[in-house]
Amino acid sequence: MPTVFGIITARGGSKGIPRKNIARVAGRPLIAWTIAAARQSRLLTRLMVSTDDAAIAEISRGEGAEVPFMRPPELGGDDSSHVAVVRHALAWLRGQGVRDPDFVMLLQPTSPLRTATDIDAAIELVERSGAEAVVGVTEVRQHPYLMYRLDAAGRLTPFVEHGLEYARRQDLPPLYAANGAIYLIRPSCLERTGTFTPAGAVAYLMPPERSLDVDTPWDLQWAEWHLSRRAAGAGTGEMGERP
């Protein structure tokens, strides 16, 4: 199997939910659920957290992740891209004499329902497919054929002209969206293309119940419900215990 470094990106600032990455969810900081899933993985070679925040660094180390450096302030703003953050981490490792892994996996702490099984299945998929990148996706629940624009008078016009007299959901072509849970890519491809979704990326399909991306207080409540059930043994997939 390829060597794969997992990099969890967790900046200290957050607009929608203050201190989101360490907000308590089902009794643990939000980031702890991603660290636990990554540590339970059979196939990740190394796990690191990139953060600009001392509290996040302390919590991450306590949960068993490496925090070998502190991210520079210029990569901690609202406009800082994940591509730039992961490139910085790889450059830092090279500066320490560490060779690039075969693949790097971006793991966002805002995807707490992703499991170790998902992580390993994505790695197996990239090995089996020969692709340069794998992206976690889920089938869209709000199909663009059922979406509308509003003009100044509040009148509806279709967002996509589809020519169907009546667009029944069961008749619509399936569409998929990146869910933010898994981005797996060769470092050379990331450097060359500047994106985690280059042409030819292969989809790793995940169900909606493991595809939540926490962005709002409502999302946080939904994560609380799912993870509390999982910790109690009622949910699907890994239990979420401390590894």
CATH topology of domain 4-139+175-231: Spore Coat Polysaccharide Biosynthesis Protein SpsA; Chain A (3.90.550)
Tell how far CA 85 is from the center of its chain. 14
Under 8 Å between Cβ of 229 and 237: no
Residue range 80-118, pLDDT digits in tens: 899 999 999 999 999 999 999 999 999 999 999 999 999
Tell how far CA 110 is from the center of its chain. 7
Residue ranges, CATH 3.90.550.10, the chain: 4-139+175-231
Q: For 202, left (φ over 0), alpha (ψ -120 to 50), or beta? A: beta
For residue 119, what pLDDT band results from cuts at 50, 70 and 90?
very high
Cβ contacts of 105 within 8 Å, gap of 6 or more: 4, 5, 6, 7, 44, 119, 122, 123, 182, 183, 184
Alpha carbon of 200 to those of 20, 52, 106, 156: distances in Å?
A: 33, 33, 18, 36
| CA 76 – CA 156 distance, rounded (Å) | 40
Mean pLDDT of the chain: 90
Q: Is the pTM of this model over 0.75?
A: yes
Residue 235 scores a pLDDT above 60: no
Which pLDDT belongs to residue 165? Answer: 62
Burial class (CB in 10 A: 0-12, 13-18, 19+), 4: buried
Residue range 179-221, pLDDT digits in tens: 999 999 999 999 999 999 999 999 999 999 999 999 999 999 9
For residue 240, what pLDDT band results from cuts at 50, 70 and 90?
very low
Q: Which residue matches tokens 């910790």?
A: 231
Residue range 128-166, pLDDT digits in tens: 999 999 999 999 988 888 888 999 999 988 888 877 766
The token pair at 80 is: 């800082």
Residue 21 scores a pLDDT above 90: yes
